[in-house]
């Protein structure tokens, strides 16, 4: 592996580092890329009152996420913002509380649970297909549809029901929260009172809507006789010993962490396939010969090597978690040659490292075949689900959800490019396509293999 390129020069702070915060707020992806292009693999930037390191090299990423993970916590300011709606959930807790929490939630994501979840995802994906079939041959706005589908999937797998009539409202609410939270985390100033009052009012309404909905579902289940469901909630109830507050916090964070990311991933997947008809054809051929008229299951999707490569490549180019949660060093620490001081922030960016030509040839091109053989890149050059102890707990679930949804949709439909189709990114808490990114779904003949 090529050694990290280190530069003794770092960007000079202007206006007490507020200039960098404004750049992150207005055009984060280009700003991060320009830091790496100008200053190399480890860049020190003043962000308001904080000194922040942007680390782009796989060796450094491994140190922060795995080898020296215990020397970092997630940056308190961002966690406090997330706490407003996630409560003290797995996402935000640290140390022993995090360990205990993770142990209690892990059984819900055991491999042996996946076949049941896969059946639920397939049933919900067929509802999506019915909906898409009613709108074939016309421009289809992807982001909203996929976000709602992912929310319905989260609903059925978490607590065996969709939000039905509230589905659109809740998916818009989560979108709104993500916007507000992003604004709060990147805002150096308190906003003028009139604006902040309006935003706070909206935030309170959205958090209230979500918490009441979830709290009602959890209460009903706790009061009902027996616990005979196959969903995630039944496992959380068992392992949280019926502690309603903990259960609600974790349901909320699984709902938010799970549905925004997988919704975004599905949107990118269909957008990319619509732009690459040759690759779409290969995926269709594979589905016809391996799945045919069968339902996709947790077992048979493992044979879909072409689709799986397409999904992995989508995650490389458009990682929903384009920036990991910012970390803060709890002690002075050496990361390779880089000396990080206690209190410094560290930011890792899958979006930038995934597009580094040193690890991926033609890094900006959509080339799923790179995932067909042995990986030719260093392990920590590709980390769409994070790594180390705090790796995404829903990784297998998320991959299964995206694969099953894609199979159900592509078995019945094909994609045609929309004249209005464009790929434009909307980086907020997750990397979603801009509202208005469109494709056209068309009916197709199924050829059983």
- Cβ closest to ligand HEM, residue 377 vs residue 397: 397
- Cβ closest to ligand HEM, residue 66 vs residue 244: 66
Minimum CB separation of residue 32 from ligand HEM in Å reads 15
Can you tell me the distance from the alpha carbon of 308 to that of 317, in angstroms, rounded to the nearest whole number?
14
Buried b (16+ CB within 10 A) or exposed e, 410-422: bbbbbbeebeebe
Query: CA 336, 47, 96: angle at the middle one, nearest 5?
Result: 60
Minimum CB separation of residue 15 from ligand HEM in Å reads 28
Positions touching ligand HEM (CB under 6 A) are 90-91, 102, 253-254, 257-258, 261-262, 265, 320-321, 324-325, 384-386, 390, 392-394, 397-398
Minimum CB separation of residue 288 from ligand HEM in Å reads 26
- Cβ closest to ligand HEM, residue 206 vs residue 403: 403
Minimum CB separation of residue 398 from ligand HEM in Å reads 3
Q: Which residue has the tokens 């490549």?
A: 313
Minimum CB separation of residue 253 from ligand HEM in Å reads 5
> What torsion, rounded to 10 degrees, do the Cα atoms 254, 112, 410, 305 define?
110
Minimum CB separation of residue 99 from ligand HEM in Å reads 9
Which residue in the shown chain puts its C-beta closest to ligand HEM?
394
- Cβ closest to ligand HEM, residue 46 vs residue 347: 347
Q: Which residue has the tokens 């051929």?
A: 285
- Cβ closest to ligand HEM, residue 58 vs residue 386: 386
The rounded radius of gyration (Å) of the Cα atoms in the chain is 22
- Cβ closest to ligand HEM, residue 102 vs residue 202: 102
Can you tell me the distance from the alpha carbon of 252 to that of 257, in angstroms, rounded to the nearest whole number?
8
Minimum CB separation of residue 277 from ligand HEM in Å reads 25
Longest dimension (CA), the chain: 65
- How far is C-alpha 260 from the geometric centre of its chain's CA atoms? 6
Q: Please name every residue paired with 339 in a beta bridge, in sequence order, or none if there are none.
A: 334
- Cβ closest to ligand HEM, residue 4 vs residue 398: 398
Helix, strand, coil shares, percent, the chain, to 5: 60, 10, 30
- How far is C-alpha 277 from the geometric centre of its chain's CA atoms? 26
């Amino acid at each position: 592996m090529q050694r990290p390129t280190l530069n003794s020069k770092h960007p000079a702070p202007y206006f007490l580092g507020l200039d960098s915060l404004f750049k992150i707020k207005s055009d984060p992806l280009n700003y991060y890329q320009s830091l790496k292009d100008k200053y190399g693999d480890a860049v020190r930037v003043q962000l308001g009152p904080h000194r922040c390191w942007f680390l782009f090299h796989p060796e450094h990423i491994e140190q922060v996420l795995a080898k020296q993970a215990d020397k970092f916590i997630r940056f308190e300011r961002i966690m406090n913002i997330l706490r407003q709606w996630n409560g003290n959930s797995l996402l935000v807790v640290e140390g022993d509380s995090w360990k205990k929490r993770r142990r209690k939630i892990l059984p819900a994501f055991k491999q042996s649970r996946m076949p049941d979840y896969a059946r639920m995802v397939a049933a919900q994906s067929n509802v999506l297909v019915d909906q898409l079939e009613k709108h074939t041959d016309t421009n289809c706005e992807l982001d909203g549809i996929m976000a709602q589908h992912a929310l319905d999937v989260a609903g059925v797998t978490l607590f065996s029901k969709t939000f039905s009539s509230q589905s659109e409202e809740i998916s818009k609410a989560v979108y709104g929260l993500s916007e507000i939270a992003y604004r709060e985390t990147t805002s150096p100033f308190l906003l003028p009172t009139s604006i902040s009052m309006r935003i706070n009012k909206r935030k309170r309404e959205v958090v209230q809507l979500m918490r009441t909905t979830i709290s009602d579902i959890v209460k009903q289940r706790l009061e009902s006789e027996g616990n005979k469901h196959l969903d995630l909630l039944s496992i959380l109830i068992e392992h949280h010993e019926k502690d309603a507050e903990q259960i609600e916090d974790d349901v909320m964070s699984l709902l938010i962490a799970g549905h925004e990311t997988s919704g975004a991933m599905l949107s990118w997947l269909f957008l990319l396939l619509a732009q690459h008809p040759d690759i779409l054809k290969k995926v269709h051929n594979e589905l016809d010969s391996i799945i045919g008229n069968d339902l996709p299951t947790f077992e048979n999707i493992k044979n879909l090597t072409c689709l799986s490569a397409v999904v992995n490549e989508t995650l490389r180019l458009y990682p929903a978690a384009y920036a990991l949660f910012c970390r803060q060093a709890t002690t002075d620490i050496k990361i390779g040659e880089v000396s990080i001081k206690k209190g410094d922030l560290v930011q890792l960016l899958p979006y930038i490292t995934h597009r580094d030509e040193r690890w991926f040839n033609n890094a900006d091109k959509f080339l799923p075949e790179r995932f067909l053989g042995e990986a030719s890149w260093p392990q920590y050059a590709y980390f769409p689900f994070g790594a180390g102890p705090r790796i995404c707990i829903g990784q297998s679930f998320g991959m299964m959800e995206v694969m099953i949804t894609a199979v159900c949709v592509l078995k019945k439909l094909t994609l045609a490019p929309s004249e209005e189709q464009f790929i434009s990114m909307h980086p907020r808490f997750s990397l979603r396509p801009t509202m208005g990114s469109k494709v056209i779904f068309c009916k197709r003949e199924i050829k059983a293999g």
